[in-house]
């Protein structure tokens, strides 16, 4: 049985930029707000944090800053994945040295590999770090996924504790739960799949929407975990149009636009990500207003 890094809602926190550089002052305020609003963990330098356009100095500087700012109030999970195993190991070891509580390691992308190669990749990293690893399964971005047999092999490693499931493959998620139980913990990687995955035994969500509705996403998860299923379901279904709207364009374009509409001033995404198309931005505004957010 693996020990959960967190239960409930974790924020996949954005990386704010100002004048082309990481805005650490703003990032610190975002971290404080998330913790004050009940968010159970901070995931830094993931997809939503635009890790793919951070150089190593920025990446590790951001991880170190968030660890210090969180100051042990909630776990900090550092995104350290790469399609280069040695680079992923470097980022993972450095994040551990900086005090991250756990690592989020995405499936190797672009060059892909075999299922055997996936196991070797993750074991190579897990054998050389001293913090828990959460797998990040997102075939839409990585163009490959895990088989059940691969999950079974990965679950044997004591430091591979679970998976952020963003595949939308509920058959696979059910198989993970049925065959591996608490040897491979599951968190939703898509906000609009949070309760369906929790219904299969998931422990919560690594959330994009938590950047703008932190208290509500945590409430939805906690109500479910406390057995208050109907109330959790009602609040989740009310949020669905907003959760869907954050997918109008590729993440994190919409969530950064939403944060800026709410006065959070997190700056723009780094290229090749760009501003939202005007028609999509107007639709996002409408959904936010309908949900009750003060745009």
Q: Domain extents for the chain?
A: 8-226
Q: Which entry of 2, 26, 131, 164 is annotated as an active-site residue?
A: 164
Q: Which entry of 136, 146, 151, 291 is annotated as an active-site residue?
A: 136
Mean pLDDT by 10 residues, the chain (295 residues): 97 97 98 98 98 98 98 98 97 98 96 95 98 95 93 98 96 98 98 98 98 98 98 98 97 98 97 97 98 91
Max CA distance (Å), the chain = 50
Verify whether residue 164 is a known catalytic residue: yes
- Distance, C-alpha 135 to centroid of its chain: 11
pLDDT of 140 reads 86
Contacts of 107 (CB under 8 A, 6+ apart): 81, 118, 135, 136, 137, 138, 139, 142, 144, 145, 146
Tokens representing 71 are 């100051």
pLDDT of 209 reads 98
pLDDT of 127 reads 98
Nearest C-alpha neighbor of 75 from the set 151, 134, 24: 134
Verify whether residue 124 is a known catalytic residue: no
Nearest C-alpha neighbor of 155 from the set 119, 184, 178, 126: 184
Structural fold of domain 8-226: TIM Barrel (3.20.20)
pLDDT of 254 reads 98
Tokens representing 217 are 């996403």
Under a CB-based contact definition with an 8 Å cutoff, are residues 257 and 276 in contact? Answer: yes
What does the alpha-carbon distance between residue 10 and residue 134 come to, in Å, rounded to a whole number? 13
pLDDT of 189 reads 97
């Amino acid at each position: 049985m693996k020990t959960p890094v967190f239960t409930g809602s974790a924020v996949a926190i954005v990386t704010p930029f100002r004048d082309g550089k990481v805005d650490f002052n703003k990032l610190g305020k975002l971290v404080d707000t998330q913790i004050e609003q009940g968010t159970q963990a901070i995931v830094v330098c993931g997809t939503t944090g635009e890790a793919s356009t951070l150089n190593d100095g920025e990446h590790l500087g951001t991880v170190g800053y968030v660890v210090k700012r969180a100051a042990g109030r909630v776990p900090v999970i550092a995104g350290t994945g790469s399609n280069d195993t040695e680079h992923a190991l470097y980022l993972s070891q450095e994040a551990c040295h900086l005090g991250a509580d756990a690592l989020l390691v995405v499936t190797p992308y672009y060059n892909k590999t075999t299922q055997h190669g996936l196991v070797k990749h993750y074991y190579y990293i897990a054998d050389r770090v001293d913090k828990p690893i959460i797998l990040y399964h997102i075939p839409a971005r990585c163009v490959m996924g895990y088989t059940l047999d691969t999950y079974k092999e990965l679950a044997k490693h004591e430091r591979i504790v679970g998976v952020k499931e963003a595949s939308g493959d509920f058959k696979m998620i059910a198989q993970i739960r049925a065959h591996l139980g608490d040897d491979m913990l599951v968190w939703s990687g898509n906000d609009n799949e949070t309760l369906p995955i929790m219904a299969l035994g998931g422990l919560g969500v690594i959330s994009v929407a938590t950047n703008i509705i932190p208290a509500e996403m945590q409430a939805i998860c906690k109500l479910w975990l406390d057995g208050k299923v109907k109330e959790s379901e009602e609040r989740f279904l009310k949020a669905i149009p907003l959760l869907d709207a954050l997918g109008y364009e590729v993440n994190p374009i919409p969530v950064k636009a939403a944060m800026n509409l709410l006065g959070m001033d997190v700056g723009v995404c780094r290229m090749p990500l760009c501003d939202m198309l005007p028609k999509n931005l107007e639709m996002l505004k409408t959904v936010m207003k309908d949900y009750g957010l003060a745009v």
